[in-house]
Amino acid sequence: MRANWTFISHLRYLLVVWLCAGALSAAQASELALPGAVSTPAVRMTVWGFDVYDAKLWARQGFSAAQYAQHPFALELSYLRALKGPAIAQRSLDEMRRQAIISDGQGQAWLQAMQTLFPDVQKGDRITGVHLPDQGAEFWVNDKRVGRVADLQFAKLFFGIWLSPQTSAPEVRQALMARWP
């Protein structure tokens, strides 16, 4: 009887560990890359009436919304529909061009980098971009690091898609930055 009880206790322990690991996984790449960061509530991005993704901004205490490019932070996108990676990359470049003049050569290099990093996504997939001041941007897909773009201008403009005053979605920007002054 004692052996059975021990086995059941170990089984319960393994179940709790497995469930906790799942809960930790929900904290995602943002926690892996930015320990101690806290997130905003999810902000839904809707385009032409279609829900595209929920966004969360992860940052540490002291984050300044006005000076976002000077701070480490993570932007997590949880997709609500299937999208093609090349389309995500092209739309990102188009949005980056709203903020600054980008040469054709630079645009092609950035587009190629994003096409390499951004896979086709399905409902429930997550892409998390981590802003690393003085280094660039690092990307995670479903909690797995997929690569980095070591270009400060790229990082500033990429995250500016959501955080710059020139964003095409000012209501999303306002909601993402509401937690920080």
d(CA 81, CA 122): 6
4 in a domain, yes or no? no
159 in a domain, yes or no? yes
46 in a domain, yes or no? yes
137 in a domain, yes or no? yes
Pairing outcome for strands 43-47 and 126-132: unpaired
Which CATH number covers residue 107?
3.50.70.10
Q: Are 71 and 144 in contact (CB under 8 A)?
A: no
pLDDT confidence of residue 31: 58
Kindly give, in sequence order, each residue whose CB lies less than 8 Å from that of residue 25, ignoring residues fewer than 6 positions away. Answer: 143
Domain count of the chain? 1
What residue numbers bound the domain in which 144 lies? 28-177
Kindly give, in sequence order, each residue whose CB lies less than 8 Å from that of residue 100, ignoring residues fewer than 6 positions away. Answer: 153, 157
Residue type, 6: T
Q: What is the pLDDT of residues 87-120, one digit of tens each?
A: 999 999 999 999 999 999 999 999 999 999 999 9
6 in a domain, yes or no? no
- Taken in order 79, 159, 27, 117, the sign of the CA dihedral is positive
